[in-house]
Amino acid sequence: MYKQVTTTSSGSAEDSDSPPPFTIGIPLFEDVDALDVTGAHQVFFMLGSYNVATYLIGPKKGIPVTTLENMHIVPDYGYDDHPALDLVYVPGGYGDGFTRLYSTNKGPFYDFLKKACDSAKYICSVCTGALLLAQGGYLDGYNCTTHWAFKPALELFPNVLVAADWPRYVIDRNRITGAGISSTIDTAFAISAILVGEEVARETQLRIQYAPDPPYRSGDPSQAGPVTMQSVSNSIGTTEAYDVIRKSLQREGRISG
Amino acid sequence: MYKQVTTTSSGSAEDSDSPPPFTIGIPLFEDVDALDVTGAHQVFFMLGSYNVATYLIGPKKGIPVTTLENMHIVPDYGYDDHPALDLVYVPGGYGDGFTRLYSTNKGPFYDFLKKACDSAKYICSVCTGALLLAQGGYLDGYNCTTHWAFKPALELFPNVLVAADWPRYVIDRNRITGAGISSTIDTAFAISAILVGEEVARETQLRIQYAPDPPYRSGDPSQAGPVTMQSVSNSIGTTEAYDVIRKSLQREGRISG
């Protein structure tokens, strides 16, 4: 639990006598989902006055990363040059750049992930970010979840325990994994409650007026009608992800061919 | 209602024979709230295959804009150089840069807003973006809403009709205004349903797994407990916004001193 301190707008502690901040790192990569990143970043930012600092970490400091929505976000730090992280929050993505990332468990992103996860107190993801954590081996033996359409792909990892149905997030010891895209907000609130307590989480909820009221009940397979399910399932690339990961795991000898 | 066409990843139409896209512009400015922008951008992006193109428009094309969370987002276009807009979606903000913006109705942002709103079919906002639309005179005679804490400031504008209580969004003819920060998602869904129909909005809801389930009931004044309300109200800068806008309206002769 972190006490309230005066902070700068970046969420880092202003007073040099104050304890070092609790640091959260959100990696960026090509075709990352922007809302996966910013929904959680917004909630974590509100913890700035409780000495929680949140950083965006991209391949190279200062070089914009292009999201799947073709938005360009400038990372605060690079993969090989960032403050030590207490919590890693891996967002998901979609598209060719993201497919290349989950088709392997090697390269600069996984080097970053290994170093960050080796020292982090919490290892978290949202949406298809769970595929990256699973590739790195960080979900072996843990209950977890991911975007509803990518559960079959996550279930390919032989030691990963994928939760039944479509919970907004799953907490298993120090692994906290969120479901698809918009669940990043619920997941970040669950993390906030762990880090700074329920009352601060409630205050943040009021600050960002999080009293959601979707116009329809269509947000997961338990809600959506058959026509909607069919249309989205046909176009969302579930099969491609499944095939790419299956081949990757066979190639690495992690599952039998 | 826009029919489905093949699009590029930026959401613009690929086929030169296809009709010009329906264009949505989201202005960026110093201290803009990142989730206000990205929550709606995510939903609008999903309409790319229905020939809806969404652009981020900042003071200068390509020059990153710093959000209130100290995130840096690169705009697609500049205030004085962007495609004609069919829909303007003005996000809110918070902090010194944003205060300077709502303390007047003049300058490059309002020049952009005038030109954009003069030709747009829909004029929309979320959160404290309503203060900017009101400063520009675009909410005169319209029912609307804003972040719960800034309703008193919005009520200062003599011809703006601020809705009772805390609806997620208010639709009055071609003005669609959202409540605080996270309501950007609900607001964008309401806009999507108008632009492309309810079934596409339902599909988008399933794509982004928008079945929100906040850990607490604390998202607006009808939900939050008295301790939470007091703590947030004391720190959220409501009084500053009220005073700055009151002085601005007096100075301009829009209300009596």
Q: Which pLDDT band holds residue B16 (cuts at 50, 70, 90)?
A: low
Q: CA-CA distance, A31 to A19, in Å (whole number)? A: 36
* Interchain CB contact of B147 with A (< 8 Å): yes
Q: Any catalytic annotation for residue A127? A: yes
- How many angstroms separate the Cα of A101 from the Cα of each of A235, A238, B27? 20, 16, 32
Digit-coded pLDDT (tens) for A57-96: 999 999 999 999 999 999 999 999 999 999 999 999 999 9
Residue of B nearest to A8 (CA): B70
CB distance B33–A42 less than 8 Å? Answer: yes
Q: What angle do CA A157, A160, A164 make, to 5 degrees?
A: 110
Closest by Cβ to A232, choosing from B127, B203, B221 = B203
Digit-coded pLDDT (tens) for B79-106: 999 999 999 999 999 999 999 999 999 9
What residues of B are annotated to the active site? 127
Q: CA-CA distance, B43 to A66, in Å (whole number)? A: 17
Closest among B135, B167, B85, B113 to B246, alpha carbons compared: B135
What sign results for the dihedral spanned by CA atoms B80, B82, B83, B89?
negative
* Beta pairing partners, A52: A22
Closest by Cβ to A181, choosing from B147, B209, B227 = B209
Average pLDDT, integer, range A17-40: 95
* Beta pairing partners, B58: B78
Cβ partners under 8 Å of residue B133, min gap 6: B90, B113, B123, B125, B139, B144, B175, B177
Closest by Cβ to A215, choosing from B189, B208, B225 = B189
**Can you give the pTM of this predicted structure?**
0.94
Q: What angle do CA B44, A182, A116 make, to 5 degrees?
A: 120
* Interchain CB contact of A181 with B (< 8 Å): yes
Q: What sections of A47-107 are H helices per DSSP?
A: 96-102
Neighbours of B218 (CB within 10 A): 24
Q: Residue A6 pLDDT > 60, yes or no?
A: no
Digit-coded pLDDT (tens) for B142-196: 999 999 999 999 999 999 999 999 999 999 999 999 999 999 999 999 999 999 9
Of A8-17, A208-217, B41-50, which gets the smallest average pLDDT? A8-17
